[in-house]
Amino acid sequence: MQPKIKICGITNTGDAELAACCGADFIGIVCEISYSPRSISRRAAAELARRSRLPAILLLDKPVRQAVEIGRRIRPFGLQLIAEYSFDDIALLKRETGCSIWLPVRIPAHDSLQDAQSSGIQGYLDSINRSSCDTVILDTLVSGMKGGTGKTCDWGLAEKISAASRAPVFLAGGITAENAAQACTVVRPSGIDVSSGVETSPGVKDPEKIEMLIREIRSLQL
């Protein structure tokens, strides 16, 4: 099995076309997240999604009805949602937008876990497993940040979560061409989610880095 590849933080059609030409399976578009240098407006996101293959729109702390509105307007393949939603909210989002729902699980960067952290993560994963979530995104737990950390997480714990998840798991956080093969071998995710690891600067993708990363992943036989 070869992991799928999602290139996130796409801000323009040129980079979207580049990712597609290099063989990426999905692109990620950050929409209306004020602190992110990769964020674009709803209108720009709609245009970019319209011209892209299998786009996922990343939203932060949007009320469920607003997330539904954005999903209906942009009509992406997926909605990647960083927010506290109930099972009913997730079911509503799927039903009213027709989108695949991607939800995050944030895990620590190091192996020195406190029992409370570990049980909290397991409890959240259990909750996601009971929901109608379609894909889980594993990212690194960093104080004051809710995603897009650019830091690697504890791959040993990530492997356990990947094995226990009902939904496919994508590994994010500090993935580059140099460590992607090792990360996939250790964690055995369904896919990887990469942003800063294939950039020349925030929001500007590097063709050589994308090509190298995808070549490394496509050479794997897991």
Beta-bridged to residue 135, according to DSSP, are 102
Q: Which of 53-57, 145-149, 157-161 has the lowest mean pLDDT?
A: 145-149
- The residue segments making up the domain with residue 188 are 4-218
Average pLDDT of every residue of the chain: 89
pLDDT at 217 over 60: yes
Q: How far apart are CA 117 and CA 211, in angstroms?
A: 37
CB atoms closer than 10 angstroms to residue 28 = 28
pLDDT at 216 over 90: yes
pLDDT digits (tens, 9 = 90+) for 72-128: 999 999 999 999 899 999 999 999 999 999 998 888 776 544 444 555 677 777 888
**Antiparallel, parallel or unpaired: β 199-201 and 204-205:** antiparallel
Q: How far apart are CA 200 and CA 119, in angstroms?
A: 38
The tokens 């992607």 sit on which residue?
180
The residue-averaged pLDDT of 191-203 equals: 95
- Reported pTM: 0.90
pLDDT digits (tens, 9 = 90+) for 35-87: 899 999 999 999 999 999 899 999 999 999 999 999 999 999 999 999 989 99
At residue 66, φ and ψ (nearest 5 deg) are -70, -40
The residue-averaged pLDDT of 138-162 equals: 76
- Give me the pLDDT at residue 143, please: 53
**Angle at the Cα of 141 (from 205 to 7), degrees rounded to 5?**
20
pLDDT classification of 154: cutoffs 50, 70, 90: confident
Residue 40 is which amino acid? I
Q: How far apart are CA 33 and CA 147, in angstroms?
A: 11
- Give me the pLDDT at residue 12, please: 96
CB atoms closer than 10 angstroms to residue 109 = 15
pLDDT at 183 over 80: yes
Q: How many domains does the chain have?
A: 1
pLDDT at 186 over 90: yes
Q: Which of 113, 79, 83 is nearest to 99 (CA)?
A: 79
CATH of the domain at 55: 3.20.20.70
